[in-house]
Amino acid sequence: MKRGAQLSRRGFIALAGASFAAQLLPEEALARLATEVPLHGISPFGELKYGPGFTHFDYASLDAPTGGTFSFSVPNWLFNQSPLTFNTLNTFVGRGDAPPRMEMCFDSLFTGALDEPGSSYGLVAETVAISADRNSFTFRLRPQARFHDGSPITAQDAAFTFNILKEDGHPSLMLPLAEMVEAVAVDERTLRIAFSGRQSPRTIFSVAGYPVLSKAYFSGNPFDASQLKAPLGSGAYRVGRVVAGQSIEYERVADYWAADLPVNRGLNHFERLRIEFFRDRQAGFEAFKKGDIHFRQEFTSRVWATEYDFPAVREGKVVKREFPGELRPSMQAWALNQRRPRFQDARVRRAIGLCFDFEWTNRNLFYDAYARSNSVFEKSAFKAEGAPSPAELALLEPLREALPPEAFGEVYSFPVSTGAGRNRAALQAARGLLAEAGWTPRGRSLVNAAGERLTVEFMVQEEGLARVTTPFVENLQAIGVDASIRMVDATQYQARQRDFDFDAVMMALSFEALPGRDSLVNLFHSRTADLPSSRNYPGTKDEAVDALVETAGRADSVEELTVALNALDRVLRARCDWIPSYHAANHKAAYWDMFGFREPKPDYGFPVESLWWYDEDRARAIGRA
């Protein structure tokens, strides 16, 4: 299924997030930092793990060799990227299908550490100075910063980047720039970004991780999805061999300007990264079994439980194991498109959700590999529990007239079935809700007062998700809903999802550890309900939800943020904007035993392509050297 449409990657978007033990959020922390003083790094918690003289991140591997090819199936992706095909190499715009990991070809002003939530350290910029009102940020660029053609990365390039992303960037990049009032080059090496004062205090931690683009390149090339020509980059890798829609290789830049900076030392060891694109999950698995793919995270529990018994596994050439998940809230859920009138009644959405029998599905299709999700903030303290606390009620009461009554009682969770099969109690409850909403039986269908049938089509892009959705659809059909599954190809799926042309679609993502206003707006705010390529797939338009998103964005402490997100989760669950499905605690991964890596993995990210390295002795031992 679709993984990580908005998963954070090192140096981009969220710059990792935060631990729940932290005591300060950006507004308070930034207030404690010296103003107009160049800083080598900033943190939303006031303290940095790595001081001004640090030489490398603790999880880096300084002695690891460089070389070898790493061919892998990507488990996550960003922006307009697709793991199934590609038709553009511009990943920073809303339209088109770009290959994952294009972001590795670009450097950012600052970048984050995978073992320290929320931090940001200088990359293209060596320092940042914060104005007294915390609305202006002045970055001093490194004189040695270079694009791959040898031209310098200047403040003019950086200013151009922020201005064009605000106008024409992918919504994930555009939205955090909504309150940017200017991005200007003071001189060749000095960039100033100023905000209106209405921005979230955490916005700077997002935008400092944006890619820096070449103004000269895009002066001669369109900033859109029309070309398969690789944009001029500056990162540790550049685009190599490309077979449109089928494969892409990223080549390690031998003279990479930032290779010895503390934020990069001991990382990016592979000479070549290769991604092959398979429109069918089984075809990708067969390529892995043959050794054409070297690393694979498995998201199909049936395959994990029954099909990793091929000869290479039995001979010890392929390792099958689990790695700990990241310390970030996660969400996997179906969105029912409220732009369609029949899904605008919360009773209809809840009734549809009642027809998903997780316990039966987990037992019979998932080999008991998953836990039921009820929250959009699973695996975190932001998941609402029980009845509202006094602090939550203080946020909810002023919004009472706009909220469903269920938001003030025990938080809504889908009932637990016996797992024996048809869940009669849940289906009966679903029938009752639909009747209350005006849907009555006519023959084998349900119709409204206008005689329109209640239909819901689940859009999927692969056979595995169709298999999981089939029992769901059968339960819906049993109560008179005209439910079906529509399998579409990768390009059509991306286009229809981008333009909200679906009844129901599933999305999986991982938030930053402390979700910021920008990511919450992208998912839940009225501003993004009609913005193509946003992640607000249900089309949520609700002033009360907007107010809670804004409250979370202004939080001054972890405690305040937790209360705000608990309240938001409670409201979203009462509204049934999303139908949460299931989640797993760990990464299920398999790889050919020809790599080295440090353990344990960092807590806030798992970019294997950056952390691991080719081990020639291991490769020789399994006949792969």
Tokens of 179: 């309150």
- Integer Cα distance of 470 and 115 in angstroms: 40
Give me the pLDDT at residue 71, please.
Answer: 98
| CB-CB contact of 369 with 575 (8 Å) | no
Give me the pLDDT at residue 420, please.
Answer: 81
568 has a pLDDT exceeding 80: yes
Q: Is residue 357 within a helix (H) or strand (E), and if so which, with residue range?
A: none
| CB-CB contact of 234 with 253 (8 Å) | no
442 has a pLDDT exceeding 60: yes
Tokens of 459: 């859009």
| CB-CB contact of 264 with 179 (8 Å) | no
Give me the pLDDT at residue 54, please.
Answer: 97
Give me the pLDDT at residue 33, please.
Answer: 57
Q: What is the mean pLDDT of residues 489-507?
A: 93
The full set of domains in the chain, from first to last, is 330-583 (3.10.105.10)
- Integer Cα distance of 493 and 460 in angstroms: 7
170 by Cβ neighbours in 10 Å (0-12 / 13-18 / 19+) ranks as: buried
**Which range has the worst mean pLDDT, 30-34, 290-294, 545-549, 578-582?**
30-34
What pLDDT digit, counting tens, does each position of 186-212 carry?
A: 999 999 999 999 998 888 988 999 999
Tokens of 334: 């179906």
Angle at the Cα of 607 from the Cα atoms of 602 and 611, rounded to 5 degrees: 70
Give me the pLDDT at residue 315, please.
Answer: 97
| CB-CB contact of 537 with 505 (8 Å) | yes
Give me the phi and psi of 248, to 5 degrees please: -145, 145
Tokens of 502: 């679906």
| CB-CB contact of 586 with 75 (8 Å) | no
Give me the pLDDT at residue 275, please.
Answer: 97
What contacts 220, CB < 8 A, 6 or more positions away?
A: none
Give the DSSP letter of residue 100: T
Give me the residues paired with residue 192 across strands: 138, 184
Q: What is the mean pLDDT of residues 507-512?
A: 89
Give me the pLDDT at residue 45, please.
Answer: 57
Higher local confidence (pLDDT), 233 or 3: 233
35 has a pLDDT exceeding 80: no
Give me the pLDDT at residue 44, please.
Answer: 73
Give me the pLDDT at residue 554, please.
Answer: 86
- 569: amino acid identity, one letter: D
15 has a pLDDT exceeding 50: no
| pLDDT above 90 as % of the chain | 83
Q: What is the mean pLDDT of residues 43-72?
A: 92
What pLDDT digit, counting tens, does each position of 577-617 carry?
A: 999 999 998 999 999 999 999 999 999 999 999 999 999 99
- Integer Cα distance of 591 and 585 in angstroms: 19
**Helix, strand, coil percentages in the chain from 3-state DSSP, rounded to 5:** 30, 20, 50
What is the rounded average pLDDT for all residues in the chain? 92
Q: What is the mean pLDDT of residues 215-219?
A: 97
pTM for this predicted structure: 0.87
Give me the pLDDT at residue 21, please.
Answer: 30
What pLDDT digit, counting tens, does each position of 462-489 carry?
A: 888 999 999 999 999 999 999 999 999 9
Residue with tokens 């369109």: 222
- Integer Cα distance of 338 and 4 in angstroms: 23
Comparing CA positions, the residue from 56, 74, 458, 83 lying closest to residue 260 is 56
Give me the pLDDT at residue 30, please.
Answer: 52
How far are the Cα atoms of 271, 301, 430, 482 from residue 436, in angstroms, in the given order?
A: 62, 38, 10, 18
Give me the pLDDT at residue 119, please.
Answer: 87
24 has a pLDDT exceeding 70: no
Residue with tokens 């679906």: 502
pLDDT band (50, 70, 90) for residue 19: very low
pLDDT band (50, 70, 90) for residue 262: very high
| pLDDT above 70 as % of the chain | 94
